[in-house]
Amino acid sequence: MALRLLRLIALVAGAAGVSLFVAPPFVWLALAPLAIVAGLGTNDVTRAWVGVELAEVVPSWLLPSLLAVAAALLLRLIAGEHPWLALTGVALFAVAFGALVVVQCVSLDPNDPRSPDARAAIDVIAYLVAFAAFSAIYGLRLRSAISATAVSVIAGLLMAEVLRPKEVDKQRLWRYAGVVGLCVGELAWALNYWPIGGLLGGVYLLLAFYLFAGLAQHHLAGTLDRKILGEYGGIAALGFAVILGASYWIAPR
């Protein structure tokens, strides 16, 4: 088990490092096999950890694949400004990826008492992956059609991951995930006309994802009311105000 996990970490981290040398027009072609390797490898480890039957039911590949893609994009952004940090970034990604696979396996093991805590940790990791992916995509300053589509797909898949443990019909789950992804993607398109840094752009999109994802979860649970709308609306308004203030002070004079 340990050897299988270490081989997977080395393979995925190495592929992420190699993707840094791929020319920009072909970077998405390099990310596709990276996501596939991360997903299939994670599913293999999950099968060995919690059993074949459970691994076949639960799509354990989703979040690790998104983490690999988000990390590769973020490393690409960092390497462009600070090349000497790229190696450190790859090492940190290797640790984070390995930790995610272990935490996910624990969350899927019905006999492990740590499973509920591991599931809560995965929800937090999903939002961190969203921030990394959104920051990297916005920071790379890609064409709006490409960046908005990428943000939309990633937001939708992460929404599906957040909803996965809930008792939701699959068609309904993907319907909600698609709506959330579309909403965040539309905001990403508009954000491309706002000259702010990659991190601030990532925070803006993360806040939007948090807002739409939270409202979707409450709507699915039948608990969406004026109080919930007010709470999420207040948090979103405060967050957007902070971003506006930060963009004003950070903007070059």
Domain hosting 73: range is: 1-112
How many angstroms separate the CA atoms of 239 and 235, rounded?
Answer: 6
Neighbours of 252 (CB within 10 A): 4
Domain count, the chain: 1
Q: For residue range 2-25, what is the model confidence (pLDDT) as tens digits?
A: 788 888 899 898 888 888 887 766
Helix (H), strand (E) counts: the chain: 10, 0
> In the prediction, which pLDDT does 6 show?
87
Between residues 57 and 205, the one the model is more confident about: 205
Instruction: Report pTM.
Output: 0.84
| The token pair that represents 228 in the structure block | 């919930």
How far is residue 101 from each of residues 82, 117, 159, measured CA to CA in Å?
A: 28, 15, 19
Asked if residues 191 and 150 have their Cβ atoms less than 8 Å apart, the reply is no
10 in any annotated domain: yes
89 in any annotated domain: yes
How many angstroms separate the CA atoms of 216 and 63, rounded?
Answer: 19
Alpha helices in 1-26 (DSSP H): 2-19
Asked if residues 159 and 176 have their Cβ atoms less than 8 Å apart, the reply is yes
197 in any annotated domain: no
In three-state secondary structure terms, 137 is helix
59 in any annotated domain: yes
Least confident among 20-24, 61-65, 130-134, 173-177: 20-24
Neighbours of 198 (CB within 10 A): 18
240 pLDDT tier (thresholds 50, 70, 90): confident
62 in any annotated domain: yes
Q: For residue range 114-156, what is the model confidence (pLDDT) as tens digits?
A: 888 888 898 899 999 999 889 888 877 778 788 889 899 999 9
83 in any annotated domain: yes
Asked if residues 140 and 73 have their Cβ atoms less than 8 Å apart, the reply is yes
